[in-house]
Structure 1
Amino acid sequence: MMRELGLVELDHGRRKAVERLGFSNKRCWPDNAEIQAALESEYRLFQPHTQRRVTTLLREQALAAMQTFAEFEPRLVGSSVSGTASLEQGVRLHLFADDTRPIVFRLIDTGIPWQAGDSQHRYADGSRQTHPTFAFVAGEVPIELVVLPDQARRNPPLSAISERPERGLDPQAVERLLSEREPEQADLAF
């Protein structure tokens, strides 16, 4: 249902499915990891080539943004890492800085129109912290920059899927993923 309707948020998709199926017992509801696994299966079975192209586009835009914000040690996180992101979901990067002003100056210097916001994240110690975000669109891909404090390098927020610290991918890891995909795409051209 999430794939067919283009739903982005796991919780929204879960609630829509529960509503449609009429399950009231929350213990029967799938957790985020189960939903993520089902999405991965759906994409592999029904849209492997399209999803591969979308994933490649997202990762290419992520890498370009990572290069623009390299001094903030960007990490690619979220569903574009696993390959289940849609264009609507776009790319999420974690940047590390105790002060957001240098990031704002970089956005201004590069002429990127952006919107500021906040997002809440859970940590392994049970705490919840709100961090500033900056959102913009690169080509047709939405990019969200989540600015974490420097100390979060050692203790990043938890993934909503795995409930484990979301360390993400550095630019070199994203480059490796992109280079691994090139032979598959070359095969599709024949």
Structure 2
Amino acid sequence: MRHSTRDQQMRQRIAQEAARLIATEGVRDYGAAKRKAAERLGAPDTRNMPRNTEIEAELVSYQSLFQRNEQPRHLQSLRRAAVQAMGFFERFRPRLTGSVLSGTADKHSDVNLHLFAATPEEVFIYLMEQQLPFEEGQRRFRFGRDEQHTVPVVRFMAGEVPIEAAIFSEEGIRQPPRSPIDSRPMERAGLARVEALLEEAEPVES
């Protein structure tokens, strides 16, 4: 029992340190954050790693305790940028995902969008027509327990806010990939919902 309690305490400490790394050092990958946290706590070989959901819960707690004014300001700024980017991509039925939607985004975060087009080239051509500089890339998404697909992405800056837009097929709007946090179908939000989130937010103290 004593050993089990010690393991549980280490698991919580790793989750808390991983959350701090995400909040203060901009480590965006939860897996990398908990591995780095375990190393810093002297337990790099532990098998009792926290789940991503545990880390996210600790992240919310950390932000509410230590970044209660700063983090909401950054979140609101990112959501405003998301609204503008979604308006820009209206023809591709954009959906917001990730930390800007869930509410844990901060100054280290980017805006993650999902776009839907017959071909990725439609998005590339549209960006070139709008004379917006962008970079092409790829990102892997998990769809089933063992099913993964590589999806093209475009990255660009909207003022000082980095935007990453993944381009799915038109049918992909009904088939969200799995969340890296809880493995459930990834939450997506359309423009109306993101605008509502902005309107519902309480004023942030200066």
- Residue in 2 aligned with 1:143? 163
- Asked whether the 8 Å contact 2:95–2:189 carries over to 1, the reply is yes
Q: Is residue 184 of structure 1 aligned with residue 206 of structure 2?
A: no
Give the C-alpha shift of residue 64 in structure 1: 0.5
- Residue in 2 aligned with 1:62? 82
- Residue in 2 aligned with 1:157? 177
**1:42-72: CA deviations, max 9, x gaps?**
1111111111110001111111110010111
- Asked whether the 8 Å contact 1:88–1:141 carries over to 2, the reply is no
Tell me the TM-score normalised to structure 2 length.
Answer: 0.85
Give the C-alpha shift of residue 115 in structure 1: 0.3
1: CA distance, partners of 2:107 / 2:126: 24
Q: Which of 12, 25, 44 is the matching residue for 2:46?
A: 25
Q: Which of 134, 140, 150 is the matching residue for 1:120?
A: 140
Q: Which amino acid letter does the alignment assign opposite residue 184 of structure 1?
A: P
Instruction: Name structure 2 gaps, 5 residues minimum.
Output: 1-19
- Asked whether the 8 Å contact 2:38–2:46 carries over to 1, the reply is no
2: CA distance, partners of 1:106 / 1:60: 22
Tell me the TM-score normalised to structure 1 length.
Answer: 0.92
2: CA distance, partners of 1:92 / 1:110: 20
**1:117-170: CA deviations, max 9, x gaps?**
000000035310000000001111110000111222221100101211113111
Q: Which amino acid letter does the alignment assign opposite residue 80 of structure 1?
A: V
Q: Is residue 94 of structure 1 aligned with residue 122 of structure 2?
A: no
1: CA distance, partners of 2:182 / 2:73: 25
- Asked whether the 8 Å contact 2:83–2:195 carries over to 1, the reply is yes
Q: Is residue 45 of structure 1 aligned with residue 29 of structure 2?
A: no
2: CA distance, partners of 1:31 / 1:72: 34
2: CA distance, partners of 1:164 / 1:177: 22
Q: Which amino acid letter does the alignment assign opposite residue 91 of structure 1?
A: V
Aligned-residue CA RMSD (Å) = 1.4
Q: Which amino acid letter does the alignment assign opposite residue 25 of structure 1?
A: T
- Residue in 2 aligned with 1:8? 28
Count the aligned residue pairs: 185
Structure number with bigger Rg: 2
Identity of aligned residues (%): 37
1: CA distance, partners of 2:64 / 2:159: 26
Q: 3-state SS of the aligned residue for 2:69?
A: helix
- Asked whether the 8 Å contact 2:63–2:71 carries over to 1, the reply is yes
1: CA distance, partners of 2:188 / 2:68: 23
- Asked whether the 8 Å contact 1:54–1:87 carries over to 2, the reply is yes
- Of 2-11 and 136-145, more deviation after overlay is shown by 2-11
Q: 3-state SS of the aligned residue for 1:48?
A: coil
Q: 3-state SS of the aligned residue for 1:164?
A: coil
